[in-house]
Structures are given as C-alpha cells and as structure tokens.
Chains A and B, each alone.
Chain A
Amino acid sequence: MLNEPFKIIFRRFVNRLTESGLLIISVALGVGAFAAGGTLFVNVVNQNNELLNSPSYKEIVVTTRADKDTMEVPVIEKLLSETAVLTESDLDAALMMPSISYSYILNQTRLRMINEEFQSNQQNMTPPEKIEVPEVEGATNKASSAKVVDTAEIEVSDKNMEIKELLEEDLSEIRDDDSIVISDEDELSGYEVTAQFFDAWNISAEFGSLFSTSDYSQTNSLVIIGSDFAKTLVEDDADVGSLVGKRILAMQGYQTIVGILEETGTNYDYEFFSPYSDNTSSGEFAQLKKMFMNSELIFAVSDPEDLDSVSQMLEQWFASEYGDAQVIVSNPRLEAEQTVSRNSGISLLLLILAISGLFISSVNISHILLSRTLRMKKHVGILMALGATKKKINLLFSIEALIIIIIGTVLGVLIALPINSQMQGALDLTAQTNWMLLISALVSAVIIFTFTLIPIRRFDKIKPADAMRTQ
C-alpha cells in the first residue's frame, strides 16, 4: 500500500494527466529512438565485421565465361567455340603468387535422390528408353577434337544400365538394409571439391573423416555430407555418426558416406561434397561433364589487402593461358565492401539522430520535472517541517522519476521493436538481436534518469522556511 507521501505524488500524477502523459511519451520516444538506432548500429558493425572476416570475402573466383546454369546448353556449341575449360592444373597459378594461401576447385553438382516418390513419378511418365548422354571420343584431347554424335545411336553404356537397375530397385527391401539410407529429398545440391577446400574454410569432419589423397583418384562414389542434411537422414535423436560408412541411394549410383562435417553455420551445412578429380577413369562421362559444368577455381588470400593485386595477376595469368576475356576473375569483397560502407553510413546517421532524440527528450523531461519541482517547493517545505530528511525527499522524487521512466521505457521498447525489425530487413541484417535492443533501452533509461536527477538535486538547496514562504 502507498504511504502518505507517495499518495501525494500519485494523486498529483493522476490530477495532471496531460503533463504526466507528456513525460511518459518523452521517455518512450527517447528510449525508442535510442534503442532502435543503437541496436541497428551495433548490429551493422557486427555484421560488417563478420562479413568482411568471413573466408568467402578473402577469395577470388575464376569462372569460365558461360553462366553457371547452362548445363542444358548443348555441349556442341561450346566445344566448337574455343571456350576455356578450367581444370585442376590451373590451380598452379597460385604457385606464382605468394600471397595466395589456398586455391581449390568448387564445382557445383547435384545428387538426384531415389525414393518412393521418385519411383512413382517415374512410373507415371513414359520411362526413358535411353538417357541422353552425348559421347565424346578421345576425351583427353578436350574440346577442340570433340565430335558430334547422333544421340539416337548412343549405346546404352554401363553407367546407364546401372541407373536403370537402380530405378527398378525394390525400395522396401532396401529400407530393411541397414547399410543403405534413402533420403526423402528430391535432390541435393553440392560441390565437387579439391582437398584444399576444407583447409580454406577450416572445416573438419565431426564424424568419419575428410577425403584422403587416394579418394581423389578413386572411381568409387564417395560423399561427405553437411551436418543439417545428415540430421534428415536419421530418425529423431538417433546418432548422426552412425551414418558414416553407409550408402545413399541416388540416381548417380550408391554414394558412400565418408564423413559428416561439423556445423559451420553456412549453407554448406545442407550440402554434400564429393572429391574432384581431373582423371577419373570413368572417363568420358566425367570428362565431358567437366566441360559443360563450369568449374569454379577459387584463390584465397590471407590478407584482404592483397585482393586487388592478386586479381590482376590472375587475370594476366589466365589471359596468357587461354587468351583474353576467356575467364571472369571476380572479387566478391568489392561488392561486400560497398554494402558495408552503405550500411555503416545509414546506421551511423540513424545513430546520430537517435542520440539527438535521446538528448532532446532527456532535456525536455528534465525541464518538465524542473517546473514540477518549483511547483512542489511548498510541499517539500511542509514535508521537511513535518520531519522528512533531505534524503527521504530525494528518494521520494527519484522513485517518482523512476516509475515514469520504467513505464516510458516499456512503451519505448514496444515502439522500437517494429522499427528495428523493419530496419534490419531493409539493411539485410540477420535479426537475432532483441537482447541488444533491451540493453540499449536500458542504457537510454539510465541516461534519462541521470537527467531527472538534476531537478531533484534542487531540493537539496531548499530550506523549509524558504519553501514555506512560497504561496
């Protein structure tokens, strides 16, 4: 229950609802502005640091001229033009430039999963008599010597036979087999990578192992899978590690799981990796695949400062190797830096506005409280005459200010929440920042509170006799 001095404060508060309301709104706006602006600024700074420190922004990507998604483009066209085909040997470029710490191939690929859904889809369609894979003679001669072969005459290769068999497998039988897993996904995307990929990203296997040197020359289909994808392959709560050594049923054949990666927090968690090799003996098919799938060669530098000079050197190197403008040497960091400086600029401006808002509302609150204080002079004098110490008077009015600030802060947070999420969205920030909002709200509440102490301090100078004379 309120004691008598608090009843005075409370009833004055209620009797002067306009003034009290203005005070609360001032607090709410000040806190809201600062909480939204401060949170945004801190998040932008964090995001920027994270962005620029992430490995992918220390990399230079070399790709062939064609688009990545041109897998359907007839091979022929490309083979006739003298388009560069990037291979593992191009990674030797790294040897010329000492600032390059890693170079690897990241070759996008996919696994078509075989499961019940897939089979029923297949049955509804006309079963493909042949899988149309163009054959290339003398693949070692690469592009220029390739010959156009009428697809109708292609023999059904061993590979195709295998696929046909796989399509007709009895899945219920397979599901009973402990050594084989069936994924319910349609398709999984992934990369063929060279060994240095895992070094560059500093990823290790949580279960099983990474590829060994011999894996890169083997014909067996081996995969390493990301942690999130691994979770979809096991029953709830089952041990993900048990997947190591099992085989996944896919249209490309059984894929043996060598290892499961630790969680990286990137999209690699939901992808798979298979060893990249130039000289797989399954030969023609693999060689051909490389010709029309763009190989991405990636060169990472240890110091981002070197990115520009290394890009230029790489451009020269590839120009001398394949001719001018055959490859695109791109530097993702440049784009990232543009985003970073844009976001920093916006958030800094908003921070300044937020601080001004907080300052203005603090001064305003202080001012309103000051005029209240002057009007309360007589009350203070009477309270002191009746036995209140200066400490008790200060406490009374501090608590009043504190209650106003608490109500205002709660309102301010409610204002800041939607503004904040709006701004996070506008600046492409990953939002997980409500605690930051609460901290900045708290900081601004403390700042406002110190401003309210200024008028409260005035009571210290009041002598009860002076206050008594005020009519």
Chain B
Amino acid sequence: MINLENVSKLYDLDETKVHALDNVSLHIARGEYVAIMGPSGSGKSTLLHILGILDIASSGVYKLEGYDITTLADKEQARIRNKHFGFIFQSFNLFPELSALENVMLPMLYASVPLKKRKDRAIYLLNEVGLSHRMKHLPTMMSGGEQQRVAIARALSNEPDLILADEPTGNLPSDKGEEVMEILEKVNKTGVTVVMVTHNPNKGKRANRIINVRDGKIIDTKKDKGDLYAK
C-alpha cells in the first residue's frame, strides 16, 4: 500500500541543516498495524506527517498504491487526506467552537456528503465510540478520553483506508489510553491500516510491526507475534 523510497526531510534551522529524515525506505502493506517508535527528536513524527501528506519530503519518492503522490496538486493531496486518511493527534485537535457532532460531521462536508447523511453517520460513529450522550457538547466540556474518542470518530467519518495516529494516548491517563488502544485494534480488525507513533514500548508491542527510528533513520523493523500469526 505504502512505499517510501530514499525519503529525506531537511529543515533549515538558523543556517544549519537538520536531517529530520535521512534516506528512509519503508513498505507498509494494507491491513497492517504498525507502530513507529523512537525517542523524541528522532524523526518519528516527521515520518508520520510525510505518510499523511501533511508535509512533503525534500527528496525521495512516496508511492501510495503505486502512484507517486509527491507531485500531486494541492487539490488532489487534500482529496486523498480527506477520503483515504484519518488522523488522530496527541492533543486531539478538535475545533473548540464545534460540538462533538459537528466536529465529526466536518470532514464529510469536504467529501460532499449531503447534510442528512453527514449527521446520520456522525451520530452512528459517536454511538460506536460510546459518546451518544455527549453529541451536543463542546470539546471544552469533555474529558481527554472523551475528546480523543470524538477525534477517532472524526478520523473514521469518511471510511478511511489508513489511520495515522500521533501519540494517541500521550495526553491520557492509562485507563483512558487503554480504551483508545482497544478502539484502534478494533478498527484495524475491520481491515483499516493503522500507523501509530508512540514512545511507549508497551503500546508499541501491541502492533504487528515496530519500526524503530533514531536520528532520522530506521534502525530496525521488528515483526512480532502479530506478524507471525498473520503469516
């Protein structure tokens, strides 16, 4: 599904160039559950942003389903993010002005889903994540766990092929983090590819594969039990 070939990312910071990613090559198959691990500053978030087309690589090729997406126009990139990707962030990134329901409805607007369908699907998804009683609430009135569940519902709104999660449990107490992990596993079981960035080894172990990143390079990719069961 995803093929990165010799991807590098350079940042210009006060005349010194920082290699956030250095010649990274990576393959992720459809339906995989991948954890990207590494200490802070290792480049794992940059890798996730490039995978999600939130950022563009300085060099190298990113192929999605065989298509080179780095050369696509803004409109096409936006369409891929909207229809095929779902994002979950450490700090939830919900719109504080919108209710839970409206936050979940928003991505479907850009997919031109009619209002009635948007609303029905958003209600269904919020039910699925156990928030049927919080639909009209603003994010500020909800706990972190609840907010992250709204964010997951939002990420799933356009039935994505790939979920990109950046430290999804980082801002949550452990029991709430566990809830989020369970939902992600459930989503992965429906055939959705999940790529999760984390620095917590316990969370990482639950993935099929762990990619260890250090200083902008992939130092090893370890296939664990999940992978063994699969093959």
Contact = CB atoms under 8 A, between A and B. Distances in A.
Interface string B82-105: 110001010101010110001101
A4 interface: yes
Contacts of A463: 54-56
B107 interface: yes
B17 interface: no
Interface in B35-60: 46, 49, 52, 54-56
Q: What secondary structure prevails in chain B residues at the interface with A?
A: helix
Interface in A367-407: 378-379, 381-382, 384-392
Given A384-B81, A387-B107, A388-B78, A465 B55 contact: yes
A388 B110 contact: yes
B75 interface: yes
Most buried by B among A387, A465, A468: A387
Most buried by B among A7, A385, A465, A468: A385
Contacts of A466: 55
B54 A11 contact: no
A7 B96 CA distance: 11
A138 interface: no
A18 interface: no
A388 B52 CA distance: 14
B54 A8 contact: no
Contacts of B82: 386-387
A7 B97 contact: yes
Contacts of A390: 74, 78
B54 A465 contact: yes
Contacts of A387: 78-79, 81-83, 107, 110-111, 158
Contacts of B107: 386-387
A245 interface: no
Contacts of B135: none
Contacts of A465: 46, 49, 54-55
Contacts of A379: 95
Interface residues of A, number: 28
A5 B106 contact: yes
B154 A386 contact: yes
A9 to B, nearest CB: 8
A464 B52 CA distance: 10
Size class of B's contact patch?
A: 20 to 34
Interface in A10-38: 11-12, 15
Most buried by B among A5, A390, A464: A464
Contacts of B102: 4, 7
B109 interface: yes
B118 to A, nearest CB: 9
Interface in A349-378: 378
B109 A464 contact: no
A471 interface: yes
Given A7-B102, A386-B81, A468 B89 contact: yes
A15 B98 CA distance: 13
B68 to A, nearest CB: 19
Contacts of B115: 1
Contact of B93 (A5, A7, A15, A468): A468
A432 interface: no
A382 B110 contact: no
Nearest to A4: B106
B93 A378 contact: yes
A3 B93 contact: no
B49 A4 contact: no
Contact of A12 (B56, B97, B105, B109): B97
Nearest to B105: A4
A12 B52 CA distance: 28
B54 A464 contact: yes
Contacts of A384: 54, 78, 81
A150 to B, nearest CB: 101
B75 A382 contact: no
A385 B97 contact: no
A383 to B, nearest CB: 8
B175 to A, nearest CB: 25
A59 to B, nearest CB: 70
| The 5 A-B residue pairs with the shortest CB-CB distance in the complex, in nearest-first order | A387-B82, A465-B55, A387-B110, A11-B97, A465-B54
Given A385-B52, A386-B87, A388-B110, 9 more contacts: A3-B109, A4-B98, A4-B106, A385-B93, A386-B154, A387-B83, A387-B111, A389-B78, A463-B54
29 contacts: A1-B115, A3-B109, A4-B95, A5-B106, A5-B109, A8-B98, A11-B97, A11-B98, A15-B97, A381-B54, A382-B93, A382-B95, A384-B54, A384-B81, A385-B87, A385-B93, A386-B81, A386-B106, A386-B110, A386-B154, A387-B78, A387-B111, A388-B110, A389-B74, A389-B78, A463-B55, A464-B81, A465-B55, A466-B55
Interface of A: 1, 3-5, 7-8, 11-12, 15, 378-379, 381-382, 384-392, 463-466, 468, 471
Interface of B: 46, 49, 52, 54-56, 74-75, 78-79, 81-83, 87, 89, 91, 93, 95, 97-98, 102-103, 105-107, 109-111, 115, 154, 158
